[in-house]
Structure 1
């Protein structure tokens, strides 16, 4: 009797791999995760250098980041079904070949248009690598260790990639532009290609799961995700109200997602189970993941950009980012040691408190603050990040698999969307808040400088005296001194704005921790007040 397209294949139990081969598969997982993580980090970290190489503005170069992130947010919708229908091995081989081809093409980027096309293809080609990294990490592990070891290890490697790009980029760029950055990405892609073909994943049964309406739903959701990504990348740059097309694009994105929801609700076999996704448990998990991603924007969009506004070179920040990577690794090890399904709320509570503590410490920054002074606070936030994400993903996977394998796709979409879109939205909102607060603080400082009070006059006179050896004319010295003080006021306004953002992040984390604590107390009280079952007295 032949198996129908809708019947589920019987689970296949593979024997465990020998230890040397198991370590090889786990090493391949780390290489795949770092390849896609570094690829993303090289783009976000080197936007000014990319703009210089292509002869464009920084605002134009930001389109490259949007082009890279759009397919990363939407392609997982189809990738899981493609993998299920056409086979795991073919999926892995085609995906890694496409990634190497795009990495090779990126070496020959010569103008802005070709760069946008290549970055969009890079994001599309890198999307399967996240899935492959998880699969290679879980492949050699027993069922007991897949969640406890495989999940934290894969998440740690994937989360470390973008930060590691900030560590190695200054050494790769040097005086030779971005050539070595592209060659490094190409080299890692070729090593990943060799590992995928040398260490094939064990086959799993195929199923015919792709339907015609899946493509319509994918186009609608993909357009909605693309519009949100472009809007929140470009919104803070052009400022929201100064570019009417941003509002129109966001409105069109919302409409496209609404139509996608209407289509999915009326399908017998939907691409996404919308009714399950809007259940209280899944809404709580989605809100938790999204909120946490917004809070973590303090680390990705906070300290690096604050130091950039203070004139700190990227090479001076490599030590800070190396320690952040090390703290992330420690967080992953802590998950391996302590992560259990019944400990997820406690781990989340500890993570939120650590983030609040780190953000409070950052909120005392001044113009004299340098990377070395934020090592402890940023390490706490990085450690907390890895203490939060693997338990959250484990809870979601357990919830999805308890309802059946068909719910796995819906959960994976929720997780990837909250992380990809949440990162973009969080960075956009964080930057918008910084711009707003900087303008307010700068207006206050310039009002103080405009008055003819004695401290301002003395500061201008002191600066002018220091410029006597360079500028002989007294009037020109006073003008230059006043310009320097205004520049210092702008930098001071930025630092004050970042302090406001750090403080807001700490307060949000504390509020989330308080809400979680109240939720835990409510559950404990409900458990105590629940009527106990009568004891069985039957002899």
Structure 2
């Protein structure tokens, strides 16, 4: 009885909202980094001569490491203190940002992004895992919404600030902006966040971590290299086979160990599986969208980096509005209806965007971006909360880790697969007739490179062909996103548990979770 009373006192403690502010500061850092880099990629492609594949790696090096290390990072937080490891993650993220700001080569940028991925792997799961110890089931949806909104808030602010920096300073300044934000997050966590831990959590499995990282890395590398080498290339086939073998080895190992790091049996919970699928699909679409949009806004429509950041605001605005209103709408209509509807809205927006032509202009883009933002917000927040609520309390920690890992894997595959589809389509549609072989190959590397070649040779037809080829490739990417969102919406509507069952499960999980988390909270305070 004393345990429950203690947890109730924790839930009534106003400091939990200040602690949430520390998490908001941490998530802002991750949001900043995501969109600042995407807006900077066209500029970096010009300054560093980065191909589309190298741009994909600049984005994916971060995401692959992020996804691979998230589960062991969460376990380290459980065993050694979540606040301590969260601060450590922000310090590593800050160090990677400093390296990125000083880099003068594509490979150094990729290395810096890898270091930043290590830091982000500590920040993201630990920021989410402390929420159950701070908030009860009645407040958890609001807390998840606030943290998600904080991450989303960094998305529009990142391109705007990053665009301003790109227009006035060198491209490395987009990494440097992370330094004060990480410092604020570190300070807030140290002074506002209570320490919590769970010494009984599973130990970090080094072999499983290695299998995850190498398997995912091989898969991403194969997808990125396929447009250049061809899907039948021996290296691509070997990497694909290696990825399949490594992932299979991971699954077999995790099924045999007594306390798995990656608990695959959680996918046997229908509510968790389908909510996780919905959240992962949203990450897949969002990552792909944020990869293909900046070159369109900059190279095709002719905006500078700052203007590109401003023109992403309609999507971010829709996302923030939806995240803010999701709790009330879920309470009235139920999570299944809201998630399915959000995915349908997202599918509609993507299909609408796939109809973009070279002459469409920004007004049409702003329209479907706004709709896409609403779809994102109304699907991802209730899906994440519903996934965790569908699990028994004693599986909440491992379930949170699996949820966040699959979301990041979805993002990595989204960038790799959709970026490769775009790269292959662009190269096939680009007309390089009359150009020397070397210049033709350079022009096919990216729309930015094609425009640079067109400016150097004075070839207006090449620039026009590059715009048409890129818009066609972007349309295919958006069409794939729309079909994927629609299929997921149908699965959610057909198979997600009904609202009453979901609420009962949440209530049971919440009550049991309160009793389970309290000792860890008490321990962290000692």
Alignment TM-score, normalising by the size of structure 2: 0.78
* Matches for 1:3-152 after TM superposition, within 5 Å: 13=7, 15-16=9-10, 21-51=15-45, 59-134=53-128, 141-146=135-140, 148-152=141-145
How many angstroms apart in 2 are the aligned matches of 1:437 and 1:51? 19
* 1:123 shift after superposition: 0.8
Check conservation: 2:354, 2:474, Cα contact below 8 A. Answer: yes
Alpha-carbon contact 1:229-1:424 (below 8 Å) kept: yes
Q: Of the candidates 299, 312, 321, which is equivalent to residue 330 of structure 1? A: 321
Q: Could you tell me whether the CA contact under 8 Å between 2:156 and 2:312 is conserved in 1?
A: yes
Asked if the contact 1:96–1:196 (Cα under 8 Å) also holds between the matched residues in 2, the reply is no
Aligned pairs for 1:376-525 within 5 A: 376-400=367-391, 402=392, 404-405=393-394, 407-438=395-426, 483-485=459-461, 487-519=463-495
Give the gaps of 5 or more residues in structure 1.
Answer: 1-8, 447-479, 525-539
* Alignment pair present for 1:304 and 2:294: yes
Give the greater-gyration-radius structure (CA): 1
Please give the secondary structure, in 1, of the residue aligned with 2:169.
coil
| Larger mean Cα displacement after TM superposition, 297-306 or 214-223 | 297-306
Return the alpha-carbon distance in structure 2 between the equivalents of residues 516 and 208 of structure 1: 32
Taking the aligned partners of 2:274 and 2:136, their CA distance within structure 1 comes to 30
- In structure 2, distance between residues paired with 1:523 and 1:198: 41
Matching residue of 1:470? none
Would the aligned equivalents of 1:99 and 1:125 in 2 still touch at CA under 8 Å? yes
Q: Give 3-state SS (helix, strand or coil) of 2:7's partner.
A: coil
Shift of 1:342: 7.2
For 1:519 and 1:23, locate their aligned partners in 2 and report how far apart those are by CA, in whole Å. Answer: 35
CA deviations on 1:464-490 (whole Å, 9 max, x unpaired) are xxxxxxxxxxxxxxxx99x53454244
Q: 1:413 to 1:427 in 2, by over 3 A?
A: same
Find out whether 1:224 has 2:215 as its counterpart. Answer: yes
Structure 1 residues 64, 353: closer, same or farther in 2, change over 3 A?
closer
* CA deviation after TM superposition for structure 1 residue 440, in Å: 6.3
CA–CA distance in structure 2, aligned partners of residues 55 and 296 of structure 1: 26
Q: How big is the shift at 1:20?
A: 7.0
Deviation string 1:45-92 (CA, Å, 9 cap, x unpaired) is: 323434555566564454333322222011112122211211233323
Q: Is the 8 A contact 2:71 2:405 kept in 1?
A: no
Superposition deviation, residue 507 in structure 1: 4.2
Which has the higher relative contact order, 1 or 2, with Cα contacts under 8 A spaced 6 or more apart? 2
Deviates more, 1:385-394 or 1:269-278: 269-278
- Residues 258 and 486 (structure 1 numbering): CA distance in 2 closer, same or farther, change over 3 Å? same
- Against the structure 1 CA distance between its residues 369 and 19, is the aligned structure 2 distance closer, same or farther, given a 3 Å change threshold? farther
Residue 461 of structure 1: aligned partner: none
| CA separation of 1:13 and 1:127: change in aligned 2, threshold 3 A | same
> Is 1:169–2:169 an aligned residue pair?
no
- The answer to whether the 8 Å contact 2:296/2:471 transfers is yes
Measure the CA separation in 2 of the matches of 1:431 and 1:391.
28
Deviation at 1:19, TM superposition (A): 8.3
Equivalent pairs counted in the alignment come to 473
Helix, strand or coil: the match of 1:223? Answer: helix
> Which SS does the other structure have where 1:373 is aligned?
helix
- Provide, for residues 226-250 of structure 1, a one-character-per-residue CA deviation record: whole Å limited to 9, x for no partner: 22233334444x3543864333222
Q: Could you give the per-residue CA deviations for residues 290-315 of structure 1, whole angstroms, max 9, x where no partner exists?
A: 44444445632443343345152233
Q: Quick check: which one's helix share is greater? A: 2
- Structure 2: tracts of 5 or more residues without a match: 434-456, 500-526
In structure 2, do the counterparts of structure 1 residues 137 and 271 end up closer, same or farther at CA, with 3 Å as the change threshold?
Answer: closer
Q: Residue 22 of structure 1: CA displacement? A: 4.6
Q: 2: CA distance between counterparts of 1:110 and 1:61?
A: 15
Alpha-carbon offset, residue 166 of structure 1:
2.2
Separation of aligned partners in 2, 1:508 and 1:131: 26
Shift of 1:93: 3.4
Query: Compared with structure 1, are the counterparts of its residues 243 and 199 closer, same or farther at alpha carbon in structure 2 (3 Å cutoff)?
Result: farther
Cα distance in 1, alignment partners of residues 110 and 491 from structure 2? 43
**Residues 234-285 of structure 1: CA deviation (Å, up to 9, x unaligned):** 444x354386433322221211111122222222222223334356555444
